[in-house]
Amino acid sequence: MTPFAAIGDPSAIAIFFFCLFILVALVISYWAARRTKTTEQFYAAGHQISGFQNGMALAGDYMSAASFLGIAGLVALYGFDGLIYSIGFLVGWPIVLFLIAEPLRNLGKYTFADVVAYRLKQTPVRMAAAVGTLSVVIFYLIAQMVGAGVLITLMFDIDYALAVAIVGTVMLVLILFGGMIATTWVQIVKATLLLGGALALALWVLSYFSWNPLELFDSAAADNGEAVLAPGDQVVTGSWDAVSLGLALMFGTAGLPHILMRFYTVPDAKAARSSVNWATFFIGGFYLLTFVLGFGAMALVGQGTITGIDEGGNMAAPLLAQEVGGEPFLGFIAAVAFATILAVVAGLALSGAAALSHDLWVNVVRHGDAPEREQLRVAKIATVIMGATAIVLGIALEGQNVAYMVGLAFAIAASANVPSLLMAIFWRRFTTWGAVASILVGAVSALVLIYLSPTIQEDVLGNDSSFFPLKNPALISMPLAFVTGIVVSLLTRDAAAEEKFYEAERRIVIGAPPQAVPAEAAVAHRRPTG
């Protein structure tokens, strides 16, 4: 048997599934376009998404190709060490639920900056928050786009630049016409496909091991040594590296703009709560499946074959699909991987566009007073800017090592976004300048420390040593952002913010006051004056 000839030599089935998913995405955006007339519908799906649906969409927004292909590959090559990511990517969700979801839903409108700026001076806080949002979104987006290019090139044997352009264009069409409604439904379809595909693959693997995962782990350990079931030094080299990575993964989730934005799509705090409950259930289940997929690929495909196709191990899950289910199943899993990337980049680009248009244009340039029509137009222009940026950077960085950018995005999210968000919600004495300083110090220190770290100095630039010992900066940059926010707040005074604390607290419990004028009426009302 000549194994795995099908990778890079796409079967008709793979191309069929691939085209089918693009078609489904386009149909969804056509359907959603008629329901996307206001900014509220464009950014927040008109608050009409149910808790269960949003839980699925959150899972679809969060489980990136890095989780599906990357973690399965890491586990296949390094065993237990890959599971550190599986678990780290999950444990942030309870934190989101306990501390952030409900206040966010009731205080904000479209972006997490709405919440940070709620009691504070709009202009400086929004500008700083946009820095935090856009740096997270752009690094995450680059990692996804480059990953998409490589993946599609490997699986469908088409040109890298063309692959990036296809992903970027489908994403743009999806958001421009269908906004958050289309994005949500693509994420729901993707989550269903990904969970279903991973479950089918895992069950298929387990059928080889008399349905007993322990027998699978044992078989993997028999071929590759018992060390694969224990922590090694492949993913985290030093002790403090593990702690720093753990911190970034846990708190990074709570600061990802595209995840936070999803909480505005549900009608109230109760639905926000239930959506995290569902998301945690689906994501946890998925990461449990990665245990089986990773060790399954190790035992059934073999490490040599996996690294032979792609050194990073990214093809472990598709190879496993081919091993157990042959070409049709490979074709299905390849299309699922594509769907995975599309749903994540759509969520990312939409949250980046919201930062540009809602935070910077509407609230900084226009001081919060822009007619509805203009808001929607600017939102769409910002979407085109985000989409074009994603395509251009994706193509420009072909062949670059961008794997660290996901870690960097999580570190910036944990350092720039989370401390300011938590202090804005829970600390009466938090001030405008405390927020600005916390966000900027968090973002800049994460960026500088990662530049000085072994990740960039040794792995990317090829130097012999680095200035900063940790691969992930969160252990330093996140506490630094907290301390900066506290010290600057204590040194400054923001009487208006303190006065507004009760109002914010009341709104978190009771909810936003019902809107006096419906959106359409507001447009009609404004038109004669404007």
Partner 1 sequence: MTTYESATGRRPEEPDRHAEDEREALDRLSARRLRVALVLTMAMLVVYFTFILLIAFDKSLLGEMITDGLSLGILLGVIVVLATWVLTWIYVAWANRRYEPAARELRERAR
Residues near partner 1 (CB under 8 A): 80, 83-84, 86-87, 90-91, 93-95, 97-99, 213-219, 221, 226-227, 229-232, 236, 239-243, 246, 250, 269-270, 273-274, 276-277, 280-281, 284, 287-288, 291, 426, 502, 505-506, 508-511
Distance CA 261, CA 111 (A): 6
Query: For partner 1, which is the closer residue by CB, 90 or 447?
Result: 90
- To partner 1, the closest distance from the beta carbon of 421 in angstroms equals 14
- To partner 1, the closest distance from the beta carbon of 166 in angstroms equals 35
Q: Phi and psi of 69, rounded to 5°? A: -80, -45
- To partner 1, the closest distance from the beta carbon of 486 in angstroms equals 17
- To partner 1, the closest distance from the beta carbon of 238 in angstroms equals 8
* Cβ within 8 Å of residue 127, ≥6 positions away: 360, 364, 436
Query: For partner 1, which is the closer residue by CB, 18 or 482?
Result: 482
Give 493's DSSP letter: -
Query: For partner 1, which is the closer residue by CB, 82 or 318?
Result: 82
Paired tokens of 265 = 């799509």
- To partner 1, the closest distance from the beta carbon of 227 in angstroms equals 7
Kindly list the distances between the CA atom of residue 155 and the CA atoms of 125, 271, 318, in Å, as whole numbers in the listed order. 44, 39, 9
Distance CA 524, CA 227 (A): 68
* Alpha carbon of residue 3 to chain centroid: 34
* Cβ within 8 Å of residue 28, ≥6 positions away: 174, 178, 182, 185, 186, 189
Distance CA 240, CA 155 (A): 37
- To partner 1, the closest distance from the beta carbon of 477 in angstroms equals 18
Distance CA 138, CA 345 (A): 10
Overall size of the chain counted in residues = 530
Q: What is the largest CA-CA distance in the chain?
A: 77
Distance CA 350, CA 428 (A): 31
Which of 379, 199, 220, 208 has the alpha carbon at shortest distance from 282? 199
- To partner 1, the closest distance from the beta carbon of 392 in angstroms equals 38
Which of 431, 434, 430, 428 has the alpha carbon at shortest distance from 502? 428
Query: For partner 1, which is the closer residue by CB, 41 or 224?
Result: 224
Query: For partner 1, which is the closer residue by CB, 33 or 95?
Result: 95
* Cβ within 8 Å of residue 528, ≥6 positions away: none
Query: For partner 1, which is the closer residue by CB, 4 or 291?
Result: 291
* Cβ within 8 Å of residue 440, ≥6 positions away: 128, 131, 416
- To partner 1, the closest distance from the beta carbon of 14 in angstroms equals 32
Paired tokens of 126 = 């929004």
- To partner 1, the closest distance from the beta carbon of 259 in angstroms equals 15
Query: For partner 1, which is the closer residue by CB, 283 or 341?
Result: 283
Query: For partner 1, which is the closer residue by CB, 216 or 315?
Result: 216
Query: For partner 1, which is the closer residue by CB, 208 or 451?
Result: 208
